[in-house]
Amino acid sequence: MAEPQAAPVHSPVLMLGGGLMGLAIAHQLACRGRSVTVLSRDRHEAAGFAAAGMLAPHAEGLEGALLALGQESLRRIPDWVGQVEADSGLACGLRNSGVVVPFRSSVEREAFPTARWGEGLDRAALERQVPGIGAGFRCGLLFAQDGQIDNRRRLMRALERACIQRGVRLLEGVEVQGLLRGGVAGEFQGVTLTTAQGERQILAAGQAVLCGGAWSGLLLSGLPVEPLKGQMLSLQAPREALPRVVFGPGTYLVPRQDGLVVVGATIERCGFHRELSPAGLRQLQRGIRELLPAASHWPLMERWSGFRPCTPDAGPLLGASGIPGLFLATGHHRNGVLLAAITASISTELICGTLDPVCAGLLQAFRWDRFRDCADIGLSAMVCR
Ligand code: GLY
């Protein structure tokens, strides 16, 4: 097998993963004139197709650096989506629907980490925002600045189309087997992979982004990313029956423009077992009954599951890795759709060497080396399976 050669400065950048992050970064890089190849094993596995699409740093109750990252991403989303829509010619279903978080007591509400960013609602105001809200909820917070996007039916497809329009090479059915390293500093030099036809190949490249979602740790052992399964379902509501997203304890309802309501989600630590279970369904149905009793009568349309890529502190892994030339964009846990815009931007700027001080500051809290256990990543990545 021939040794891969060191890549020239502007050789293609590889996306190791063809989900939301891989496509979003590939698109931004292509907009900057870079040549990009996306390696995707099975596009349907992507969390971007499973998530509910909430753009909700406040309703999710994020704190500290993660809240700042989420807020910055939220600020950038309209422009980012505009660019994806312009390049693809497809609407992404971005809605400034606002998100209501209901509480059983005012004590609970006051303790909510992002309470100061929301508008307080007493029971009457809560009922006006969410007609038919369950009787157990006494007050709420309205985060009018939070919203949603139709990731599953629209954004993912639009991103794929935008990438193609910008000349990105999308390789589907490709399984990356290992990373190739060489040179004095053990730089990234490419990957070994199995093609959709089952052939083993080497793909040389000087730069890559590891954006394999919940599967990222399989490629870079030592990377603390584990799958957390979420079971979801959708209901068909009468149009406009639910004007706001409702983010209840353990269950949320996300109404799309056409009346489809996405309901999530279980949180299960069970490896990569994607089965839909009766217990998962019961949990969601119980949540729906408590949150919005009328919704129990809306027809069930679909059930599915996906895997959140979770790190020990629930924050993403972004930026440089211990391997020169390899960047990380993974571990987005519950906030992948929200963080796609800022992740694409930061990753692109880093790769192009034009990261501004604001983004550099945001990045600090999400470096891979904040986890001591990761200290051996540089060595373990030598392994080519
Ligand atoms: N962001 C919602 C969830 O992960 O279920």
Domain final residue, candidates 308, 333, 350 = 308
- Quickly count: other Cβ atoms within 10 Å of residue 262's Cβ: 27
Q: Do residue 193 and residue 254 come from a single domain?
A: no
Question: pTM for the full model?
Answer: 0.94
Q: Identify whether 63 is part of a domain.
A: yes
Q: Identify whether 317 is part of a domain.
A: yes
Rounded distance from Cα 260 to ligand 1 centre (Å):
18
Q: Identify whether 188 is part of a domain.
A: yes
Rounded distance from Cα 170 to ligand 1 centre (Å):
27
Ligand 1, atom 5, lies closest to the CA of 265
* CATH number, residue 252: 3.30.9.10
Q: Do residue 228 and residue 362 come from a single domain?
A: no
Rounded distance from Cα 353 to ligand 1 centre (Å):
32
378 lines ligand 1 (CB under 6 A): no
Closest atom of ligand 1 relative to the 56 alpha carbon: 1
Rounded distance from Cα 226 to ligand 1 centre (Å):
15
The boundaries of the domain holding residue 278 are: 95-146+224-308
pLDDT values of the chain reduced to their tens digit, one per residue, 385 residues: 444 444 444 579 999 999 999 999 999 999 999 999 999 999 999 999 999 999 999 999 999 999 999 999 999 999 999 999 999 999 999 999 999 999 999 999 999 999 999 999 999 999 999 999 999 999 999 999 999 999 999 999 999 999 999 999 999 999 999 999 999 999 999 999 999 999 999 999 999 999 999 999 999 988 999 999 999 999 999 988 999 999 999 999 999 999 999 999 999 999 999 999 999 999 999 999 999 999 999 999 999 999 999 999 999 999 999 999 999 999 999 999 999 999 999 999 999 999 999 999 999 999 999 997 655 555 454 333 2
- Mutation probe of ligand 1 site: the residue of 74, 148, 234, 252 with most atoms within 8 A of C-beta: 252
Ligand 1, atom 3, lies closest to the CA of 334
Ligand 1, atom 1, lies closest to the CA of 334
CA distance 48 to 151: 6
Q: How many domains, the chain?
A: 2
Q: Do residue 217 and residue 325 come from a single domain?
A: yes
Q: Identify whether 378 is part of a domain.
A: no
Q: Do residue 51 and residue 72 come from a single domain?
A: yes
* CATH number, residue 356: 3.50.50.60
Q: Do residue 175 and residue 296 come from a single domain?
A: no
Q: Which of 240, 243, 228, 235 is nearest to 285 (CA)?
A: 235
Domain final residue, candidates 267, 284, 308 = 308
Q: Do residue 296 and residue 324 come from a single domain?
A: no
